[in-house]
Structure 1
Amino acid sequence: MAILRKCMCWTVQDGAWVSAVWTLVTSIISFIMFFVDLADFAGKSWGLPQWPFAFDVDWRMHVWKGFLACDIVMLVANILLIMAAALVMHGLKKMTIDRAILACKWFCVIMALYEPVELGIVIYMFSWYGANIWRFVWQVWWFMFWLIRFFVNIFAALCIYSRAQELMYDIAFMYGEEPEHRGPEMAPLTLEMKVNRMTSSKC
């Protein structure tokens, strides 16, 4: 049985799609934020609105190596998460069921690695801000963005994992066995073929 049977007011199928879109959009935003922060260390101006101490690096130059490492790690992590979310979006619409299941599982693996890394890095970075988190617009935005995204990402991973479980049970229902036990003579089914077969079986 899938972990989730419903995703708020959506089915798990729709919820998994929305979760992938959420992850893709927020990961792009996170990538931009860390990239701009990294750009300030390089001394480049991108013509973006600057709030007081928004991207100021002078006060943290004594720990610049730590912040620089955090920016680089999160840039790579966000690229991986963007790719995973895009793969799930494509897999749920265009791929065969087996590959869609694999895409969902890879997404969950990457998310399981991403969340602890992000948690540790954000705790490190905001430990230097201290009480200044609530004094400047940029720090408040970044902190609230991360806090909300952290918990929603966990729910998104559960939703996508539940969709993978649903697809596995659909295959087991159609073939009477688990997907990994299917013979090579059984051609992979697309999601459209799955829907057609299940619809025809109810008639």
Structure 2
Amino acid sequence: MRTFLYPGASGHCVQRPAVVPRPPFRSVPFRPVSKWRLHMTTIKLNNYYPHLTECVTLEVSEEIAVTLSIGGRMCDSYKRRKRDHDECSLDGTPGFEADVTYPPLTPEEIMELAEDHAALYAALDRLPPVQARRVYAHYILGRSKTGIARAENVTENAVRDSISRGMEKLKILLGNLR
């Protein structure tokens, strides 16, 4: 039989069966745990959000406090591993690692990226089909030159030469656009 803890008359917790008999009809709904209070913990949000400028305290349940502390410990262990294995970023802002945080792109940067992608694909369209396919597979899809050669049943040198000639033509085509 399941049991629950309820506040007793003296304020201490009393173990009672899960089935609580309902009292006779009342106009107010019956709430058997109305005096029961969850254990709350006060936390400082500045410990979890370092970008906050003012001290903010918040009262949360113990479960949330434990979850936040686990996340903090995971972050500390990540920083410790980075330090112990001599991994650091010199171009990051203090308190943040450059490989973890990426600032959002500005609308101008988004437009420039879209224009660059459009120019790149337009230049790829102007290449011969074999060169375009091989350059696309190697640089955009990330396939190896050996894998491309095996897939097309040609020698690896033929793929290397084709890709290098395609890159030279792309350099000329994209150089004319700028």
Q: Which bin holds the TM-score, normalised by the shorter protein?
A: under 0.3
Higher RCO structure (Cα 8 Å, ≥6 apart): 1
State the structure with more CA Rg.
2
TM-score normalized with structure 1 length = 0.19
Structure number with higher strand proportion: 2
